[in-house]
């Protein structure tokens, strides 16, 4: 069973993913794949340097992620340019991982841009982690030391809550405590397991 997991930035997707892993799901993390395809020494990173210039590298030759974030979350055209390099490579890796994933279990695809990429209907079920924008901002500022302005720019680069909720099979409300979250995830996982048999 292929399950899409999505939600706005800092909504709690990684936290939900780790609970799902504990419960026995296989999780494929799109953000992690997006890091791998531009790791030091990859053709992906070479293409990024060609497009954005060598100043986008740190002194030791890695992608300077905070700097790149500052550029692409304030300029939609440049964001699209980066996505055009990263996304096709992520899809390639995905295909390879899916081909080697064990069959029969629940495979969760943690994809921040699931709605934006128009691929929601490719999944047997879609789980949306939902919080108001203000909670996203609060968590980015509190836990990641981001400025409020940067946090809002990232939210503005993504689909609205309403658009995500419109494709949801299950909505997980993450405005409560971590314990509340675990409770809901456990319930959703039980329903997914029932639906899978």
Ligand X SMILES: CC(C)(COP(=O)(O)OP(=O)(O)OC[C@H]1O[C@@H](n2cnc3c(N)ncnc32)[C@H](O)[C@@H]1O)[C@@H](O)C(=O)NCCC(=O)NCCS
Ligand Y SMILES: Nc1ncnc2c1ncn2[C@@H]1O[C@H](COP(=O)(O)OP(=O)(O)OP(=O)(O)O)[C@@H](O)[C@H]1O
Chain residues that interact with ligand Y, rule: CB under 6 A: 7, 9-15, 31, 112, 139, 143, 174, 177-178, 181
Task: Please answer whether residues 123 and 4 qualify as being in contact, where contact means their C-beta atoms are separated by less than 8 angstroms.
Answer: yes
Please count the other Cβ atoms lying within 10 Å of the Cβ belonging to residue 104. Answer: 8
Name the minimum Å distance from CB 65 to ligand Y: 12
Per CB under 6 A, does 128 bind ligand X? no
Q: State which of residues 5, 20, 82, 107 lies at the interface with ligand X (CB under 6 A).
A: 82
Kindly determine how many residues on this chain lie close enough to bind ligand X according to the rule CB under 6 A: 18
What secondary structure does DSSP assign to 18-63, as a single string?
Answer: HHHHHHT-EEEEHHHHHHHTTSTT-HHHHHHHHHH-GGGB-TTSSB
Per CB under 6 A, does 9 bind ligand X? yes
Q: Choose from ligand Y, ligand X, none: what does 69 bind? Cβ within 5-8 Å by kind.
A: ligand X
Instruction: Return the closest-CA partner of residue 133 out of 164, 168, 178.
Output: 164
> Which CB, 25 or 113, lies closer to ligand X?
113
Q: Choose from ligand X, ligand Y, none: what does 121 bind? Cβ within 5-8 Å by kind.
A: none
Residues 6 or more apart whose CB falls under 8 angstroms from that of 71 comprise 52, 56, 78
User: Which residues of this chain interact with ligand X, rule CB under 6 A?
Assistant: 9, 30-31, 34, 65, 68-69, 72, 79, 82-83, 86, 90, 112-113, 154, 157-158
């Amino acid at each position: 069973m292929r399950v899409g997991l999505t939600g706005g930035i800092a909504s709690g997707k990684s936290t939900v993913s780790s609970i799902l892993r504990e419960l026995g799901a296989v999780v494929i993390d799109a953000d992690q794949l997006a890091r791998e395809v531009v790791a030091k020494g990859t053709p992906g990173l070479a293409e990024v340097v060609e497009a954005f210039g060598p100043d986008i590298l740190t002194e030791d030759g890695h992608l300077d992620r905070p700097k790149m974030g500052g550029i692409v979350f304030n300029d939609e055209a440049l964001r699209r340019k980066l996505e055009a390099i990263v996304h096709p490579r992520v899809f390639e890796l995905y295909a390879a991982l899916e081909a080697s994933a064990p069959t029969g279990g629940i495979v969760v695809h943690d994809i921040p841009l699931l709605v934006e990429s128009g691929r929601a209907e490719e999944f047997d079920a879609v789980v949306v982690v939902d919080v108001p924008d203000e909670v996203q901002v609060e968590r980015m500022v509190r836990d990641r030391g981001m400025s409020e302005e940067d946090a809002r720019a990232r939210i503005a680069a993504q689909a609205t809550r309403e658009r995500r909720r419109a494709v949801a099979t299950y909505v997980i409300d993450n405005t409560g405590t971590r314990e509340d979250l675990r409770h809901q995830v456990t319930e959703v996982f039980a329903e997914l397991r029932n639906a899978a048999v």
